[in-house]
Structure 1
């Protein structure tokens, strides 16, 4: 059963599950597993999740939600791109700014401003 409304798209040769802004929040390990299961059901390599679908606790690093969620995506080898305006969250925490910067240096989890940034990131 699919829990994530979305569409499958091929973006520069990468199968992307593009989630809609409405739907369950990414608020912990079970929500991450649901998204990963949906991605696998679509045979998607990457989940593009609007920032509106990410729970506030995720952005409070001390909560541990971000680490737990990210570990699930890495373990199951499904990439995650959180797409949208993070400025409100980034303004509240220098640790989060550093975390986002470091995470974006990798190839598995990204925080991107918009769809154009996602397309640019995936462009060969």
Structure 2
């Protein structure tokens, strides 16, 4: 019961933030902070382009959104899988134990590092 209330409060708290972001943010305008990794190293971090991605997605341009960072949809998929595993944890404990292991965390970390290297070495 408490989780349900927390989720509703979280949703109601985040909804105005997304609406405000949709209405006033121009990714080229500079309201949001610049990437620290890119500012210091010149390399794009794995999340670079996520603000432009979100802005384009909220404005109904999914293909343009993906062009800003090809890895974000993969991240959404991975987050969705974790949420699904957590939601079905009690009804399918064996599946939960099989996939929620350190090995998979290391694989995701390796994917993130590989994406950073690929996007910078190939200028994607």
TM-score clears 0.5: no
TM range (shorter): under 0.3
TM-score (norm 2): 0.27
Higher share in strand: 1
TM-score (norm 1): 0.27
Q: Which has the higher contact order (CA 8 A, sep 6+)?
A: 1
Higher share in helix: 2
